[in-house]
Amino acid sequence: MPPSTSDSPECAPRVITIGVYEFDLPSFLAALRAHDVGLLVDVRQRRGVRGARYAWANSRRLQQALAEEGIAYRHHRELAPTTELRQLQYDADARNRVGKRSRALLDPEYVEGYVREVLDRTDLDALLAELPADGATALLCVEADPEACHRSLIAERLTERHGLPVGHVRPAAAAPVSARR
C-alpha cells in the first residue's frame, strides 16, 4: 500500500492524469491548481512537443512554469513507452487512418506490449513513495484523451494494485471525468 501519514481519506494520495494537447499554459496551470496538484510526474519518453502552440510543454519551460506555481516536477522515464512500442501504436494509427492527436483508443497490441514490457517490469513503489499525501499528483503525457495514452494504463495499475483513486482531466472541462477506487 502507498505510504500515508494517516488512514484518513484526506491524507491518502490522489492522482489525476492530464495531457498537453488542447491546453495552453494558462489553462493547463489552472487545471493543475483546480485539482490541488503538488507534484507533476512526466511519463513522456521525449519531453518535447513539436510546434509553437505547445512550446510551453517542453521540459525546461514546463519545469520553470511549474516551479513558479510551487508544483514539484519529476520525470519517470521508466514509465514511458519504448520507441518500438510507440512505433507499434503509430503503425496501428496508420492502419486505422487516425492521427496521433485524433486517436480515441490505444491499439490492443500496444496495450499488451506496454503492460508486459513496461508496467510489469516497473516497481511502482518508488513512484508511490513520492506521492504527496496533502495534494494530488498529475501523470503527464501529451494526448488530450486518457484512453488514447499510456498514462491511462499507469492510472489503471495504480487503482487496481494500490487502491488509489484516479481522475482524468480533459482540456474542455478541466474537471475529473472519472475517479475510481
C-alpha to C-alpha distance for 153 and 68, rounded to whole angstroms: 30
Give pLDDT, residue 6.
38
Task: Give percent above pLDDT 70 in the chain.
Answer: 89
User: Does residue 100 register a pLDDT over 90?
Assistant: no
Global pTM exceeds 0.85: yes
Q: Domains in the chain, please, with CATH?
A: 9-172 (3.40.1010)
Q: What is the pLDDT of residues 110-150, one digit of tens each?
A: 999 999 999 999 999 989 999 998 899 999 999 999 999 99
Give pLDDT, residue 120.
97
Give pLDDT, residue 47.
75
Amino acid at 145: D
Give pLDDT, residue 177.
43
Give pLDDT, residue 13.
86
